[in-house]
Copies of this chain bind each other. A is one copy, B any other.
């Protein structure tokens, strides 16, 4: 385990350096030397922590993916009586802390490191599970419903990240109203 503080600090610095560099360069344009220079770590130290820059990116993406996975799990568990009001807004708020990093990583799409794809996969899985557990038969395929939920969710998250926190509530409320209306249409009457 990473016990020594020095490891934590260097990994934090290295990861932050890559994120910063990604604001002005493509991931493929970034060199290990760039990362080391900006983070003020020696190359030998870099390779003591990561196999290469791809490994570094993987671990960063994995970290945020895990964080998101935890939050998604919590938020879905907090749903009461099928009321998903807080879900939409909640997840967007959860991610607000790492606004800069997430916005940057959403622009990176590498084979084994695609944060946006990971988010979509996680959301889709949870939506499918939620719909199935909700039990009610629907007039449209459950997968279609899950996909819709996932897409609406991602839209709100990305919108909230790009814009400030000011109008999140309004947007979430608006989108949620639309979604509810659709749900009412396709769900069978009680």
Complex Cα–Cα for A4 and B183 (A): 63
Q: Which residues of B contact A9 (CB under 8 A)?
A: 40
CB of A80 within 8 A of chain B? Answer: no
Q: Which residue of B lies closest to A5 (CB)?
A: B40
Q: Which residues of B contact A187 (CB under 8 A)?
A: none
Complex Cα–Cα for A41 and B5 (A): 8
CB of A33 within 8 A of chain B? Answer: no
Q: Which residues of B contact A79 (CB under 8 A)?
A: none
Tell me the residues in window 30-67 of chain A with beta carbons closer than 8 Å to chain B beta carbons: 40-42
Q: Which residues of B contact A182 (CB under 8 A)?
A: none
- For residue A163, give the distance in angstroms from its CB to the closest CB of chain B: 22
CB of A74 within 8 A of chain B? Answer: no
Q: Mark A1-27, 1 if CB is under 8 A from B, else 0.
A: 000010011000000000000000000
Tell me the residues in window 143-183 of chain A with beta carbons closer than 8 Å to chain B beta carbons: none
Q: Which residue of B lies closest to A8 (CB)?
A: B40
- For residue A41, give the distance in angstroms from its CB to the closest CB of chain B: 8
A8, A9, A41, A42 — most chain B CB neighbours (10 Å) = A9
Contact pick for A5, options B5, B8, B42, CB 8 Å = B42
Complex Cα–Cα for A168 and B42 (A): 42
Complex Cα–Cα for A9 and B5 (A): 14
Q: Which residues of B contact A41 (CB under 8 A)?
A: 5
